[in-house]
Structure 1
């Protein structure tokens, strides 16, 4: 996947811009990685990627992902407070191998020490799994 150029990065809002800067962050992600998945897959991946990120950062919902978060990880106090957590932008794109995808997320959050940081970047890798009934779902790859 291509890395955004310096001109694309400069289009990002300054740190601390808040919710008003999120739209430009979303545009920068979409410009850097043009859409290449069916809309239904992208929506499913974005929903799962956002939920995984929230679970990872804040601890909320880790039990939903037992293959990603071990029992120990589900019990660990998270580093970020849920009250100041938000996804600023996200895109889901095809992975390098067939049947894979990656969700790129840019997010903001306040850690337990009170330091607020935005424009954090996380990626989640997914694999398409087909059930016995012939339906398919996107499954996160454990880290």
Structure 2
């Protein structure tokens, strides 16, 4: 299966076991890294790689949904959505210890978490009140 990946994504794939879990069209499969094109694509800023899919049921063809869960380093913090008050598109959280309301700059979402820009008042481990609590 051909993929185009960033150098960070390739590093994450290389850090996986030789054979790793993935999903093809919602069906669990095993995959492994087969080949890495040494040429960097300047236009897309990506590297082309090929994966081998094990336990493939059905016809292999282009356009199938392939999911490969990777852990990538990202800037910012993950805040539980249950702690975020979002009034007029201005998300905030309240620090439990001080009661301080901190405005957030959202960068993305992941499941039950909102990824936000780093803020010196919100360090990993800071306890937050649930949205609406005082």
Q: The TM-score by the shorter chain falls in which range?
A: under 0.3
TM-score (norm 1): 0.23
Q: Which has the higher strand share?
A: 2
TM-score (norm 2): 0.24
